[in-house]
Amino acid sequence: MITAIVNSIYGFAADPERTFHLNQDWLDKDVALVTAISGIVNPPFMEIDPFLAHANAPSARIDRSLGFGLRQIHLALPGGYTMIWIRIATLGKKIVALDCIQSCSNSADCPHVFPEICKAWKRTPIESDQGRITMVRYVDRLSIDQALIPALGAPPKSLPPGNCQLSFSQLISPLEVLDVGESCYYSSVRPPGRKAIRELMVSNRSDLVRAVLRGPSPEGRTYAALALYSLGEVTPEDEAVIQKISQLVIPIHVCEGCLVSTRKFADVLHPKEISKGPSLQGPFRQF
């Protein structure tokens, strides 16, 4: 009865035709992982080095510079049925953004194990779906702005994001890795970052695109520059920001079909070709 109530609250639905046999050892590993992690993923955080030591995670899945003193780290901590993903952004030694997501390796197991895992967390998930629960989401926007504004300038004043809020938040997140491309992966779909920037463009929100250009995400900045060139709305101030970003030695994650790789910002934009005019076609500029 309790499990059914928890499932209805969190949105987990078991497959009535699938027989589930609980592996108690696996569930115990998940609960032990939550117990070990739950105390350190709440602000105020320890500085990054003791945090990483306490998390006792395997080597980071991602550890890269975002530029301007910001760093992005992704950790994956295995349990039994589940994996805990901790995504972190730092400024110097300070943690300025963090989220914590727990996912099932087999989404069909989630309705059976997540109720017990939520009890171990002793809190309600911020978000949930069939395959994962988000337990923590934190962004110190003031500290991030203090790092970016002296280098890139404050974005022009804009209206609230409105119905573009989710796309805008995704593009300015210091925690995301958004592949830059047009048609990607085995299913040949638009990657999430392209969908997000496209929504800002069709909603005539160049103000938000300019804010993304001055944000913490390398891929978000790349999409924003491409969008402004495509719209023919690059101002002298935008051009100065683009030139400054071009000087960063930071790999930009890109995708072309099934191939996912990294390139330099300047190589993605091809600034000499872009100057020929908006009619130019290219693999990353098909908006």
Q: Per-domain residue ranges for the chain?
A: 2-141, 154-274
Residue 76 corresponds to which tokens in the numbers above?
Answer: 């994956």
In this prediction, residue 143 carries a pLDDT of: 97
In this prediction, residue 113 carries a pLDDT of: 93
In this prediction, residue 102 carries a pLDDT of: 97
Q: Could you list the pLDDT tens digit for every one of the 287 residues in the chain?
A: 444 444 554 555 555 556 788 999 999 999 999 999 999 999 999 999 999 999 998 889 999 999 999 999 999 999 999 999 999 999 999 999 999 999 998 888 888 999 999 999 999 999 988 799 999 999 999 999 999 999 999 998 888 999 999 999 999 999 999 999 998 998 889 999 999 999 999 999 999 999 999 999 999 999 999 999 999 999 999 999 999 999 999 999 999 889 999 999 988 987 454 444 443 345 566 66
Burial class (CB in 10 A: 0-12, 13-18, 19+), 249: exposed
Query: Could you count the other beta carbons within 10 Å of the beta carbon of residue 115?
Result: 18
Per the DSSP assignment, residues forming a β-bridge with 85 are: 76, 101
- pTM listed for this prediction: 0.88
In this prediction, residue 145 carries a pLDDT of: 96
Phi-psi region of 283 (alpha: psi -120 to 50; beta: other; left: phi over 0): alpha
Distance CA 148, CA 169 (A): 16
